[in-house]
Amino acid sequence: MDIDKLFKVPKIPTGGNKRRMPDTPTSELLKKMRLESESTSNVTPSPIQPLSSSPSKRVATVHDTDTDDLESDLGKETFAPGNDPDYFAEEDEEGRFFGGGLTNEQKKILNIFDNAETDLVPDDSETLSPSGIKKLLVRFERSANKNQAQRSKYPDDPTKFIDSEAELDAAIKALLPLAQVPKVAYPLLIGSGQLEILIGLLSHENVDIALDVIELIHELTDEDVGRAGAREAALKSLITALLDHSVLELLVDNATRLNEGEEADRQGIYLVFGIFENFVGSKPPLAERLVLKTKFLPWLLNRIQSKTHDENRGYAVELLSILLHGSQSNCLELGKKDGVETLLKVASQFRRRDPIDADETEFMENVFDSLCSALAEAEIKKLFLKSEGIDLMVLMMKDKMQARSRAVKTLDHAMSAHAGAEACKVFVEASGLRYLFSAFMGKPLKKQKNATETIAPEDMTHTLGILSSLFTSLPSDSPPRIRLLAKFAENNYEKTDKLLDIRSSAQARLMVVDREIDAEKEAMPRGAKEIGSEDHDVWYLRQLDGGLYTLQTLDYILAWIAMEDDGIRAHMRQMLNRRNKSFLDIVSTLQIFRDNIEGGEMNDLDGMSQREILQHLIAFLKGC
């Protein structure tokens, strides 16, 4: 007997409108179970009667038992609870009894059920063969047609079609194992014509039938199905066939009609999210089709605004982050649907409080990641500014909760490039410099008052990115730019010294990567051709990850403050000399930076491109 199959609870209730029993029993249910248990235990067992199928009544006969005989029987080892002959069987090595407290007759009954269960269990190899799969599909088609016919004939009498609904439920669930053999099953499913019937059931009047189909589609499109060769091809062909029958629109319609107050419906929503993630993972262009061709984005934005956090809310914002990543069209659509305002509203929940657990922390990170992905577009930068996103991020930096580092990251994206110039001005006017340099100098969060003053590498990268954008975008001799320069001169140039310390650390990391690359070049065969552009690009990316990106950003900032303030320049020269460095080391970094960017990439300060700005900085430092 397969105990796992006997006691396995299905994820979705089977048949009719039956819902899953609540996880926590009600007090009334517990009381009823207790009363039943007490009534059962108080029943005096009658003498054992032989089993008979005859309905005739039998008269119980009570025989007097001699006390001496009873006492002698109590001393015999043949007596056991339930007259189990195996009760006193020999123990195993660990001292456990093999006996189960069952009578011989009860054991025979169980053996009959065991044998029957074994006979009914289908052979997987036979079921998942081409002929077995065809039988499952035929059974599904008949069940679907029968249910449709009975529902049409007796639309107002559920008792007439409830049995066919149960059969249809079982037929759909019988298709779940097809995911184990995608190379065989998926072509048969597509070619049989049953896929259209299956997808049509997403509009079934009985929500539980639609949930069965959702569970099946989720299982068939799971990412584990298509991880190799022909399996991946079979998965993509199935997804294509599903899309041809408007599966995205039908799934979105189901998301709107499901009631998450019900456990089965809540799980159905989770599976819908999983299906969309499977689709986008297999075919990334589907992200734009899902956002632009369906009503899913407005529903998703509404879902993440829920005040109560649960697993579905977390999954919703994670899926939103996936849909926005790298998609210009989806980001612009987000702006049209007031998505920027929505994301800022949700993010504001973490201004004065930290997430309560790891799940909510992940939710918060995905909210900010979604904002950062959208801020790659100039239109979203304008909407972010209009919705006072800069002011909100500055307040989050001020409050020093966990959201502070995410606010710094968001500001880095909002203030970058030429489209972020206006955001740079607003940032300084909102007293953002004060809180930015507080984070830059490593002031701990509120809950870390006794912690060591350190700043995470990622936070430092985004802080330097903000400073770089400020120097690039703020007009020369403007009050905001003067306030920025003053920060590097105050407190005996402590912030300039901090920049130089970070530079030394980044350069040390870069030297390790450079040695590895030099070793690889030496190991190349002597007769090999010259290093190609692809090899150069790979090595350059490794250098960026190994500290060169940080070094370039730092030297860009150092070059600006050295050029614009004589006192800072003199202090920098002195501190560089102590490290056996000079301005020429900064020049060397900026030259690499200049040579690896496109000439017309940006159009920022005074109408100059980024390359032109770098050339002016290099020329000035060479003359120092």
The percent of residues in the chain predicted with pLDDT above 70, rounded, is 75
Q: Write down the mean pLDDT value for the chain.
A: 83
How confident is the model over 9-18, as pLDDT tens digits?
A: 444 433 334 3
How confident is the model over 23-70, as pLDDT tens digits?
A: 445 555 545 555 555 554 444 444 434 333 333 333 444 444 444 454
Output the pLDDT for position 158: 86
Could you tell me which of 198, 185, 96 has the C-alpha nearest to residue 140?
198
Q: Is the pLDDT of residue 204 over 50?
A: yes
Residue type, 307: K
Residues 523-547: b if buried by 16+ CB within 10 A, e if exposed: eeeeeeeeeeeeeeeebeeebbebb
Q: Does any domain span residue 292?
A: no
Among 283, 306, 331, the domain-final residue is 283
Q: Does any domain span residue 576?
A: yes
Per-residue pLDDT, averaged over 435-457, amounts to: 71
| CATH number (domain holding residue 170) | 1.20.930
How confident is the model over 371-419, as pLDDT tens digits?
A: 999 999 999 999 999 999 999 999 999 998 999 999 999 999 999 999 9
* Distance separating alpha carbons of residues 209 and 355, to the nearest angstrom: 37
Q: Does any domain span residue 616?
A: yes
Both structure tokens of 587: 């020049």
Both structure tokens of 441: 């100098």
Q: How many domains is the chain built from?
A: 2
Alpha carbon 42 to chain centroid, angstroms: 54
The percent of residues in the chain predicted with pLDDT above 90, rounded, is 67
How confident is the model over 57-91, as pLDDT tens digits?
A: 334 444 444 444 544 444 444 445 555 555 455 44
Provide the 3-class DSSP secondary structure of residue 78: coil
Q: Does any domain span residue 437?
A: no
Output the pLDDT for position 102: 64
Place of tokens 């009578």: 103
Provide the 3-class DSSP secondary structure of residue 435: helix
Confidence of residue 281 (pLDDT cuts 50, 70, 90): very high
Q: Is the pLDDT of residue 265 over 90?
A: yes
Q: Does any domain span residue 316?
A: no
Output the pLDDT for position 62: 43
Output the pLDDT for position 128: 85
Q: Does any domain span residue 278?
A: yes
Residues 6+ apart with CB under 8 A from 560: 471, 617
Q: Is the pLDDT of residue 591 over 60?
A: yes
Both structure tokens of 109: 């009954």
- Full-model pTM: 0.77
Range of the domain at 546: 506-523+531-622
How confident is the model over 414-434, as pLDDT tens digits?
A: 999 999 999 999 999 999 999
Among 249, 283, 317, the domain-final residue is 283
Place of tokens 């019900």: 262
Among 283, 313, 328, the domain-final residue is 283
Q: Does any domain span residue 65?
A: no
Output the pLDDT for position 183: 93
